[in-house]
Amino acid sequence: MDNTTLPALAPSSVMDIVDRTFRIYRANFISFVALVALVIVPLTLLNLALVDDAPREIETMEDYNSAVGDQVATTAIIALIQLFLQGIVVTAILTFIASESHLGRKCSIIQAIGQIRGRLLPLVGGLLLVVILFAVVIIALAFLTNLCVVPVVFFAVVFYMGMVLYFFLVPVLVLEKVGPGFALRRASYLGRARFWPTLRFVFAIWLVMIVINIALGSFGGLVGTLPSGGGTTLETILNLLTTIIITPIMPIGLALMYYDARIRLEGLDLALQTVDKPDPRPSDVLSPEPTMGWFTLRDLGNTVLLVGLVFAFWCALFAILVAVIGSIT
């Protein structure tokens, strides 16, 4: 990694962070795409090969049932491997490289792996803790709802808290030296304190990703109309290419939003300047105790407003669909 003077860090608007996200993506395009492709391509090809080979070995119904069972099990194993490699390892590496780039330093994939390898176990532990907690809460709410004890609105609270943790849990676990439990508290605090700006950012990035997906998908649809099997093969390649291209965008952006949240709420920019190192990082400064409880009246208001916005969105979408269908008929 290159040691450079720490750049001036300051609070930024959502659109400035969106712009910065794509500038970092462009500056590290080869590294980001190569990293994602290194995981997705082999697993996708392996899965396709297994699906393609399975029917050739089927002669009887017993063979068919056995082949289907083996294929389902194999596909599930590949999906779990991809979830671990892409959802955890790749996201962690992308987050660290984006962080280094934001701090004015170049970082290769190998260097990033060397820096984050000690954070993989806490990262896995934190994500497993979230999955277990939410699974227990959702099962309990579903059971109590069947007994007419719990209002359905509590599911909205679970959805809200899930979004909050999605925003910053990975950046906190990767960029700070904290354990899984404390990381959940910090990610919850940062996400709730900066909920609406972060949600606007995620929505903006989501729209850009949809545009990219539609553009490449439309071309893939045209290719898919070609005669013989060549069109299908090219369409599969284009779909794979689309996934590789859009996968790095959100982790990069959320890493930058993490910096913005900590600068605004905890003075991270000033704290980094006090570190007696040529290449200070968030892990070199204290991770403060959250100053908010797990769920406050402000969070309740955010949840209610979020439910209202989601309801309004689906109503508007339904009205548009009705209008389109009416114009066709």
Structure confidence at residue 295 (pLDDT): 86
Is 316 among the domain residues? no
Is 74 among the domain residues? yes
Q: Give the CA-trace dihedral at 162, 134, 173, 307, to 10 degrees.
A: 10
Backbone angles phi, psi at 176, to 5 degrees: -120, 155
Structure confidence at residue 239 (pLDDT): 81
- Tens-digit pLDDT profile for residues 263-294: 999 999 999 988 888 889 999 998 999 888 88
Structure confidence at residue 323 (pLDDT): 84
> Backbone dihedral region of 108: left (phi > 0), alpha (psi from -120 to 50 degrees) or beta?
beta
Backbone angles phi, psi at 267, to 5 degrees: 65, 40
Structure confidence at residue 245 (pLDDT): 92
Name the DSSP class of 280. Answer: -
Can you list the pairs that 231-236 forms with residues at least 24 positions away whose Cβ atoms lie under 8 Å? Answer: 236/48
Structure confidence at residue 294 (pLDDT): 82
Give the count of domains, the chain. 1
Judge contact between 246 and 212, C-beta under 8 A. Answer: yes
Taken as a whole, the chain contains a residue count of 329
| Helix, strand and coil percent figures for the chain, each rounded to 5 | 80, 0, 20
Structure confidence at residue 65 (pLDDT): 57
Beta-carbon contacts of residue 161 (< 8 Å; ≥ 6 apart): 188, 295
Structure confidence at residue 19 (pLDDT): 95
Is 317 among the domain residues? no
Structure confidence at residue 157 (pLDDT): 87
Can you list the pairs that 321-329 forms with residues at least 24 positions away whose Cβ atoms lie under 8 Å? Answer: none
Is 313 among the domain residues? no
The full DSSP string for 72-126 is: HHHHHHHHHHHHHIIIIIIHHHHHHHHHHHHTT----HHHHHHHHGGGHHHHHHH
Structure confidence at residue 276 (pLDDT): 86
Structure confidence at residue 103 (pLDDT): 92
Measured at the CA of 156, the angle between CA 150 and CA 159, to 5 degrees, comes to 125
The amino acid at residue 33 is: V
Is 305 among the domain residues? no
Beta-carbon contacts of residue 179 (< 8 Å; ≥ 6 apart): 122, 125
Nearest to 263 by CA among 24, 18, 3, 17: 17
Is 192 among the domain residues? yes
Nearest to 72 by CA among 88, 54, 60, 90: 54
Nearest to 11 by CA among 192, 266, 183: 266
How many C-beta neighbours within 10 Å does residue 201 have?
24
pLDDT in tens, the chain (329 residues): 655 556 668 889 999 999 999 999 999 999 999 999 998 888 777 777 766 555 555 555 655 556 556 666 777 777 777 777 777 889 999 999 999 999 999 999 999 999 998 888 888 888 888 888 888 888 887 777 666 655 667 888 888 999 999 999 999 999 999 999 999 999 999 999 999 999 999 999 999 988 888 887 776 556 555 555 555 667 777 888 888 999 999 999 999 999 999 999 999 999 998 888 888 999 999 899 988 888 888 999 999 999 899 889 889 988 888 888 877 76
Domain limits at 58?
Answer: 14-295
Is 301 among the domain residues? no
pTM: 0.83
Nearest to 183 by CA among 320, 175, 216: 175
Is 176 among the domain residues? yes
